[in-house]
Amino acid sequence: MWRQLTRPQKLLAATVLTATVGTSALIYNKSQRERRQHAKYLAAVRDDPLALGSAPSYLPTNTFAHAEPVQLESPADDNKPHALWTPPSRREMLNLLRGLDKDGAKIQDRDENEPPFDLLVVGGGATGAGVTVDAATRGLMVAMVERDDFAA
């Protein structure tokens, strides 16, 4: 029968036979390795009655596991406000935005040589609006211009 096969058929048969034998050998070796590992596990369980318990049973009986959180020291020049600092109240912030003093009295006019705004923000998108609000809450005089907003 082997003589009647053509050359490509012989190559195909040899390839299939080689693949079958190789796959069978791999499966057999893997199953034997798993059997050995399982036998070692069963022997360990038989020798140690606590092996089926929880994870701390693997520790010696006179020890315990303990962990403490690690606190990294903060750098000396961090930007956190002082512990006694309190943020301005809503009324004080509204007075400052209206151009009044914290107590509600009118702030004296600026000099003519002094620029009218401390900060000019170009663009009222998400970043521009955020910068404007942040600067205004810090007490700066802010102007914001937007290309498409003719009402401003």
pLDDT of residue 15: 96
Q: What's the CA angle centered on 23, arms 18 and 24, to 5 degrees?
A: 100
The 8-class DSSP code of residue 150 comes to S
Distance CA 32, CA 28 (A): 6
Whether the CB-CB separation of 106 and 84 falls below 8 Å is answered with no
Q: What single letter denotes the amino acid at residue 118?
A: D
Please write the tens of the pLDDT for every residue from 60-108: 555 556 667 666 665 566 677 777 888 888 898 888 888 787 777 877 7
Please write the tens of the pLDDT for every residue from 70-80: 666 655 666 77
pLDDT of residue 65: 62
pLDDT of residue 64: 58
pLDDT at 21 over 60: yes
C-alpha of 12 from chain center = 53
List of residues 6+ apart from 122 with CB closer than 8 A: 128, 144, 145
pLDDT of residue 67: 67
pLDDT at 151 over 60: no
pLDDT of residue 53: 54
pLDDT of residue 56: 46
